[in-house]
Structure 1
Amino acid sequence: MIASMDDHRSRRMSRPSKSPSKLTNRRALAMMGGVAVLYALPCLIAGVLGGRRWLVTVGVVVAITGVAWLLCAHFSREEVLRPVHVRYLREFFPAMAGYVVLIMVSGTWVPRMESVPARVALAALPLLPIALLIRAMVRVLRDQDELERRIDLEAIAIAAMSTAFGFFSFGLLPLADIGWHVGGPTVAIWVMPCLFAIFGIAKPLVARRYRDHE
């Protein structure tokens, strides 16, 4: 009896413990979704109070992405993130925070600037955090294992094709003369945010499909 108790105790000790300090994929998705929703609120408030429709659109897109991440967190399996993914999140959050702040600053102050070089420099400021985000994505894609790289590549393919199809469809609709008059710069500026948003939604769904077939 003592031997069986010792065996049972040793089996319990040999099991991997779920440390609450470990960052899991579910917690990471919940954090990303919560941060996205929180970032969307000032965009929506500033857009409504200031009469800036582009800020309202930014807030709506960010809010939808955040809600999608929260739903993915609810339905995903809880697994401890590897160091390569923790590093990616540490690079992702500051880049996204910088992008949201700089896009609001750029959109607010560019029309008020008289100097052309100053307008160009201020308008290009949001490109800096986007470049950091692309760098983080390339690094995590390079350092992942084969399955994780396959999941990311499939999610990138879904995001790229969905974004291309959506904007191509949007470009065909004005031919029907339905009263839409959207400028080219307005359409072009939404390509990358939509690509990132769809990738963020597609990745946990693709990962879930692969996990279910294990």
Structure 2
Amino acid sequence: MDIILIPGLWLDARSWDDVIPALEQAGHRTHPLTLPGLGASGPAASDIGMAEWVAAGVAAVDEVEGDVVVVGHSGGGNVTWGVADARPERVRRVIFVDTVPPPPGSGINEFEVVDGAVPFPGWDFFPDEDVHDLDDATRARTVGLTQSVPGRVPADEIQLENPARHSVPVTLLMGGLDEEAFEATIAQWGAYAEEFHAIADAEVVRIGSGHWPQFSVPQRLGELLVAAVAR
């Protein structure tokens, strides 16, 4: 199976390096992406938004033959769902890594824009529940993998128009939430709950990690991805 790996905000293809061996040992072909405008600023970043990121994901699907599985971490989940919306007939499964399918018109988050880009705010910016399993050595090693993202991307509203996306099977690999806890949480999220419950075939699996399992528990994440692809 061809697996498209879409990183979250501030990360590039290298963020999947420790996860890829488990996928390739299981016989899969991996395609980790670096999305447009990463590390750019000023005018070079100003024309890049969520639509351009989704287009890059769609292009990756179009470059291979047959069915694909699309994996998205964090903010990359919006890209992933946009790809499923554009190519539902090609996507055999969508796997969200500690994120959820966005409803139409939603963005990722609001961050301070500096010279047309959103710089990585540093690991200390995030709540403990997200980073508790990133030790000092891991933080020092992985901060070098981060780059700014185009300023429009985090706040851009995603355009979703094809209801066929809801027929694509979905796996949510959630850092700290099992299915019961996830259902209780998403019930409070309005349109996000509606989008999730519109999916015909969706499952929730707890990773047992913070928000960046590709750094803290890459082997476990790889194994869970292999299991999800096999479903």
Q: TM-score surpassing 0.5?
A: no
Given the two structures, how large is their TM-score scaled by the length of structure 1?
0.29
The answer to which structure has the higher helix fraction is 1
